Amino acid sequence: MIGQLRDKCRRLLQDGAVQVVIGYGGASTPDGMPHPIFVRRPDDVDKLVWNDRCMSNLTTYLTRDAVKALGKPAIVVKGCDARALVVLEQECQIDRSAMHVIGMACAGVGSPRAPKCASCDVHVPALADEVIGEAPETTGPADSPYSELEEFLKKSTVERFAYWREETARCIRCYACREVCPTCYCRRCIVDKNRPTCIETSATVKANFAWHVTRAFHQAGRCTGCGECTRACPVGINMRLLNQSLARAAEEHFSYRAGTDRETPPIIGAYGLEDKESFIR
């Protein structure tokens, strides 16, 4: 797979079809974790790697000015990452025709496997210009994406509140969750608005709750479940569970899963006469 990937990227750069490849590479040790790299010369494509430690969702770079300034990109995506491309395209943040998407067939990432991989149904990326690798043999149907949430909802309200209190109390407000997220592309995040202050920057339980609940609500019907927020969190806050809750609501009430279909209008960005809520009609 890596040979194919490098050959493809070499050709794309040589032909001038793209000016930069956003891929994985550069682990300092053989078993180290690859990190995002930006390859601009055909001679450098050998720096690209592909393995089950390629965790980052690289689509978060597509909306960044410094990366956009490099020219037309080719981007390496896993199936779960590619779902963010659908959202970004629907929200007019990217021009899908102005990039080359290289999908990597993926059997799962992380050791132990990332929680999202148990419920993966996108081993082969959709929306890619080409896919490298074969669909892995699966050992059975994927788990429900909401199994962790369903387990959590068996707890009482008091227990759930205590859980979130403990989780959010650890938040140091570094905003790694926001920065890794492809769909957190606002030029000015609500938490950075200070005239007047919308959400206090203090890392208190109250303000941390406000931050995490607001972040989750802004992801309603948009989060594609790549899990980067939870992976990036230095203090291990389980944001995945909050995101799942809103994703399940979108699925239950609107039969909508973010990032799975380019043609279905996004629920937050579309108006429908058949909407269940009367206030909107």
DSSP 142: P
Nearer to other proteins by Cβ, of 203 and 249: the residue is 203
Q: H helices of 104-238, where?
A: 147-153, 157-169, 176-180, 205-218, 228-232
Query: To 10 degrees, what angle do helices 157-169 and 205-218 make?
Result: 100
Cα torsion angle, 255, 215, 104, 55, sign = negative
Reading the block at residue 46, the tokens are: 């050998």
Check if the beta carbon of residue 67 is closer than 8 Å to that of residue 40: no
Minimum distance from CB of 123 to other proteins (Å)? 24
Nearer to other proteins by Cβ, of 152 and 175: the residue is 175
Nearer to other proteins by Cβ, of 19 and 260: the residue is 19
Kindly report the CA angle at 244 between 239 and 246, in degrees rounded to 5? 105
Minimum distance from CB of 130 to other proteins (Å)? 21
Check if the beta carbon of residue 111 is closer than 8 Å to that of residue 53: yes
| Distance in angstroms (rounded) separating the CA atoms of residues 280 and 257 | 21
Nearer to other proteins by Cβ, of 89 and 192: the residue is 192
Residue 72: alpha-carbon gap to chain centroid? 21
Check if the beta carbon of residue 201 is closer than 8 Å to that of residue 207: yes
Reading the block at residue 135, the tokens are: 């669909």
By the criterion CB under 8 A, which residues form the site for other proteins?
A: 20, 25-29, 32-41, 44, 47, 56, 60-61, 65-67, 70, 170, 172-176, 178-180, 192, 194, 197, 200-204, 228, 231-232, 234-236
Minimum distance from CB of 50 to other proteins (Å)? 16
| Distance in angstroms (rounded) separating the CA atoms of residues 62 and 68 | 7
Minimum distance from CB of 175 to other proteins (Å)? 5
Minimum distance from CB of 69 to other proteins (Å)? 10
Reading the block at residue 101, the tokens are: 């998407």
Nearer to other proteins by Cβ, of 123 and 178: the residue is 178
Minimum distance from CB of 53 to other proteins (Å)? 10
Minimum distance from CB of 197 to other proteins (Å)? 7
Nearer to other proteins by Cβ, of 41 and 262: the residue is 41
Nearer to other proteins by Cβ, of 33 and 105: the residue is 33
